[in-house]
Amino acid sequence: MLSTVNASLTQLNSDQDSESDNDEDLEGDAATSSTSDDLQRINLAASRAPTPLSISQCLKLGRSLSTMSLRRNMNFLNRELPVRFSKRIVELNHLPRELRATEPIMNLVKNYSLSFQELQTYSDNSRLRFLSTNMHNREDLDLDDNESLEQEALKEFAELLQAITNRHKQDVIYMAHGISLFKRYQHHRSKPSEKIQSFLNSFNCGRLGIRIMVGHHLALQDQLYRAQSSAKNDSGSKSPTQESLSPSSYLSTPTSAHSMRVGIIEPDCDIEALINNATQSAQFVFFQHYNTVFPPNVVVEHAKEAGGRKIRFPVVPALVHHILFELLKNSMRATAEFHGLDKSSYPDILIQLSSTPSGDLNIKVKDHGGGMSPEQISKPFDYLFTTASNTVCIDFPSIISAVESKPQKSALGENLPLCGFGFGLATSKLYAKLFGGDLTFTSTPGAGTEATIRLSRLEDQIEQFSD
């Protein structure tokens, strides 16, 4: 399979020579990324509509966790993931020639094609036939009672998902690198196309959906086998499948001792603890960048209607952690640079928590970092925009090496630069909107910026696809 991918990437380069230098159309001819048979399978899978994630269904799966429910979910993922991977391949193959020809984007095409092929091969090998006579019905399954066969199938599928997850942990870095190269080209051309922004929203939204589906399944499988292993401690036995799973394989953030996670979902999350974790991650990156400068303090205020000092709210912790981390590191940098890097202290960054009449939770992050100009305030969610100085140079190869060398320990963002990456706020807004929330900004030039994260209660939320 790899040979067909590499051969098609060579074809991609030769095809580009015949395209016009002015080709900016995302609807142009798709680059060939595999054999014609593979392309037919990709296009067929991409023509199918994805099944939106339902948080209530994810919670139901976790709260009635068993080998049987995991098998049902495996059956669902076996047909859903190829659809989602194929759509990402089609999107990549319809990019403008100049962007598609960059090495990072070619790496993405190769990786997504390989993952699609592996998922299709797994399905073709009929690994799941013993699970059901009806492959298209997630609920009504004719299940096999052979426990050893069940465990082996779950283990094998988990190993495939882990391998795919590890392959795609560099996706954002590859995409940001490709966009940065494209920006250099665009400096000599017209303004970057809005279609690029639309593509990035769609691609990142789809990528996140895949990550959540895979992450939730692996987290639940890990939780199930830990529980089974604990129940067998008196006999000294240990589930062999448990050893095949690792925390780096799914969305993971630090948890409290009282955490009651259901897969990757925290139904009763301690919001202030989550804020403290994100603050520590932002401070870590700040220190890495400035060395001897101490970041501003972060102070949390609780509105009475939000539930007092122990505010608990249902969230996917890794997503909220990412949003908070991006906002806080931006506020820390802006505050320090606005007031001067030679200062021994800075105005606090204030986080206010409040609830809405509909039961949503608002998290406001206020800083005294000088605010944004009227020209900048409309651009925070533009992938091709950053407030970092033009002198900031992003060393993408070093970032990739750092992520590769620390796959087990790296929290979200801790191997990324403090500024200049250009993806943080845009992806944060997608993360907030995925399950009915949002991220908005107000800013006063010469004073500061206020960001508001609105989180909807997860129980009633269904995955929102990008327009």
Residue 308 is predicted with a pLDDT of: 54
Residue with more model confidence, 171 or 378? 171
Residue 146 is predicted with a pLDDT of: 62
Residue 85 is predicted with a pLDDT of: 97
pLDDT tens-place string over residues 168-188: 988 988 888 888 888 776 655
Confidence label for 306 from pLDDT (cuts 50, 70 and 90): low
Confidence label for 136 from pLDDT (cuts 50, 70 and 90): very low
Confidence label for 243 from pLDDT (cuts 50, 70 and 90): very low
- Most distant CA pair in the chain, distance: 70
Residue 251 is predicted with a pLDDT of: 54
Look at residue 422 and tell me whether its pLDDT is greater than 70. no
Query: What is the mean pLDDT of the segment spanning 24-44?
Result: 62
Residue with more model confidence, 451 or 97? 451
pLDDT-wise least confident of 51-60, 182-191, 271-280, 329-338? 182-191
Q: Which listed CATH number (1.10.760.10, 3.30.565.10, 3.60.10.10, 3.40.50.10680) goes with 266-460?
A: 3.30.565.10
Confidence label for 291 from pLDDT (cuts 50, 70 and 90): confident
Confidence label for 438 from pLDDT (cuts 50, 70 and 90): very high
Residue with more model confidence, 256 or 295? 295
Look at residue 279 and tell me whether its pLDDT is greater than 80. yes
The Cα 437–Cα 386 span in angstroms is: 23
Look at residue 409 and tell me whether its pLDDT is greater than 50. no
Query: What is the mean pLDDT of the segment spanning 251-256?
Result: 50
Residue 141 is predicted with a pLDDT of: 41
- Please choose, from the candidates 189, 184, 183, 175, the residue with its C-alpha nearest in 3D space to the C-alpha of residue 21: 189
Look at residue 298 and tell me whether its pLDDT is greater than 50. yes
Q: What is the CATH number assigned to the segment(s) 2-249?
A: 1.20.140.20
Above pLDDT 90, what percent of the chain?
41
Looking at the chain, the domain(s) classified CATH 1.20.140.20 span: 2-249
Confidence label for 282 from pLDDT (cuts 50, 70 and 90): very high
Residue 394 is predicted with a pLDDT of: 58
- Say how many CA atoms lie within 13 Å of 387 toward its Cβ: 23
Q: Do 83 and 45 meet the contact criterion of CB atoms below 8 Å apart?
A: yes
Residue 179 is predicted with a pLDDT of: 83
Task: For tokens 């900004």, name the residue.
Answer: 441
Q: What's the mean per-residue pLDDT of the chain?
A: 77
Looking at the chain, the domain(s) classified CATH 3.30.565.10 span: 266-460
- Please choose, from the candidates 260, 250, 256, the residue with its C-alpha nearest in 3D space to the C-alpha of residue 274: 256
Residue 249 is predicted with a pLDDT of: 42
Query: What is the mean pLDDT of the segment spanning 273-279?
Result: 94
